[in-house]
Amino acid sequence: MALIHCPACHARMSDKASSCPNCGVSRSEAGTESAERAVRELRRQKQRMTQMWRLLAMLLFVAGAGLTVMSGGGKSMLGVVGTSLAALGFVGYSALRVHALFSKRR
Ligand SMILES: [Zn+2]
């Protein structure tokens, strides 16, 4: 069994497989209009997911920062939770940005 690249989305797939496990395009219909539409749809779904996660991370950061301010510093339990949430949101948002940068380069 050898690994080849899907002609539509370039994901790795077995040369024994009749259709791509990533985009579902069969090897015989690759390059056709329906195959390209399937790949476009897949890409759009991924973009939507990324946007949703980015929004979630931003909300987490804002909520955490708000909690920190409301608790009046980082000393109280609420402040610690707020700071942690804000940090988590910030790290998550940064990770998504970096991921977007790398996936654009390919
Ligand atoms: Zn594919």
The pLDDT averaged over each successive group of 10 residues in the chain (106 residues) is: 84 88 81 83 90 95 92 80 93 90 73
* Residue owning tokens 């390059």: 31
**pLDDT value at residue 55:** 95
**pLDDT value at residue 106:** 57
Distance 74 CA to ligand 1 centre (A): 49
**pLDDT value at residue 73:** 63
Distance 17 CA to ligand 1 centre (A): 11
Residue 5's H or E segment, with its range, is strand 3-5
Global pTM exceeds 0.95: no
DSSP string, 30-87: TTSHHHHHHHHHHHHHHHHHHHHHHHHHHHHHHHHHHHHHHTTSSSSHHHHHHHHHHH
Distance 21 CA to ligand 1 centre (A): 7
**pLDDT value at residue 99:** 85
Distance 57 CA to ligand 1 centre (A): 29
Distance 26 CA to ligand 1 centre (A): 8
**16 Cα distance to chain centroid:** 29
Phi and psi at residue 2, to the nearest 5°? -115, 155
